[in-house]
């Protein structure tokens, strides 16, 4: 109840994530906690924030303990007016329970927790922690090291850049770009000499002298 965002996130295997859209920007998890807690037992609430400004993106994720409570929250809190805005509550598309989610609704197609593949191989997963880490390292050394020839950090960086590029390329609003431009005022424009071409100037000495000497 008071460990929202304080301790590590609880196991998601027994939790159901709800996506809350149309959430005011100034609304925090603490504001949504009492609202969603009334519908059932809320495990954790996560609100994605922008890394640049740190503001909320306008949506939140609420994880419930039971699916009936989550469904109740969707039915009750969906369309509720929060801070002057009507929020939209629906089941999360991605996540641990995404297999049961279809178009924001729970799909009761699962009969037994035998696994999504039908043939679970828990023998390998039952290894110790150090074993698991070793296995992962081996896998990374086998493919990632040879294919990417890099580190995972680059992957995240590329992902973030891709997201930013996608968001900006979608032309959300002409005002958005204009506002940022007015505020940034072309941050990548100073003199035009340094940014124009790279002048490594490895040796300011006279190459003619060296050539003359070589000759």
Partner DNA sequence: GTTGAGCGTT
Q: Shortest approach of DNA to residue 147 CB, angstroms?
A: 23
| Three-state DSSP class for residue 125 | helix
Sorted by sequence, the CB contacts under 8 Å of residue 148 that are 6+ apart come out as: 154, 155
By CB under 7 A, the residues from 89 to 128 that bind DNA are 90-96, 98, 104
Structure tokens at 36: 């969603």
Decide: is 19 part of the binding site for DNA (CB under 7 A). yes
* Among the listed residues 61, 72, 78, 144, the single contact to DNA using CB under 7 A: 61
Which of 28, 31, 59, 65 touches DNA (CB under 7 A)? 59
| Spatial separation of the C-alpha atoms in residues 96 and 100, rounded to whole Å | 9
Task: Work out which of 168, 176, 177, 181 binds DNA, going by CB under 7 A.
Answer: 176
Is residue 4 within the footprint of DNA (CB under 7 A)? Answer: no
The candidate with the shortest Cα–Cα distance to 97, out of 69, 77, 116, 124, is 116
Residues 6+ apart with CB under 8 A from 23: 32, 47, 56, 58, 59, 60, 82, 85, 87
Q: Is 8 in the site for DNA (CB under 7 A)?
A: yes
How many residues sit in the footprint of DNA (CB under 7 A)?
A: 37
| Interface contacts to DNA, rule CB under 7 A | 5, 8-9, 17, 19, 21-25, 44, 46, 48, 53, 55, 57-59, 61, 63, 85, 90-96, 98, 104, 167, 172-173, 175-176, 179, 183
């Amino acid at each position: 109840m008071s460990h929202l965002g304080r301790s590590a996130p609880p196991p998601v295997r027994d939790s159901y994530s709800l996506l809350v859209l149309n959430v005011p920007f100034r609304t925090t998890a603490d504001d949504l906690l009492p609202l969603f807690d009334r519908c059932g037992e809320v495990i954790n609430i996560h609100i994605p924030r922008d890394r640049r400004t740190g503001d909320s993106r306008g949506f939140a994720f609420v994880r419930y303990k039971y699916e009936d409570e989550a469904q109740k929250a969707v039915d009750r809190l969906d369309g509720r007016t929060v801070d002057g805005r009507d929020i939209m509550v629906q089941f999360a598309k991605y996540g641990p329970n995404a297999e049961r989610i279809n178009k924001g609704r729970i799909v009761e197609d699962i009969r037994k927790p035998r696994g999504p593949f039908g043939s679970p191989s828990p023998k390998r997963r039952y290894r110790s922690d150090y074993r698991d880490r070793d296995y992962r390292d081996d896998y990374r050394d086998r493919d990632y090291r040879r294919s990417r020839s890099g580190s995972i950090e680059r992957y995240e960086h590329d992902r973030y850049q891709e997201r930013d590029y996608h968001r900006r390329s979608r032309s959300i609003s002409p005002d958005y770009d204009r506002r940022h431009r007015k505020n940034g005022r072309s941050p990548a424009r100073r003199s035009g000499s340094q940014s124009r071409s790279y002048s490594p100037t490895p040796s300011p000495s006279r190459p003619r002298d060296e050539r003359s000497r070589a000759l």
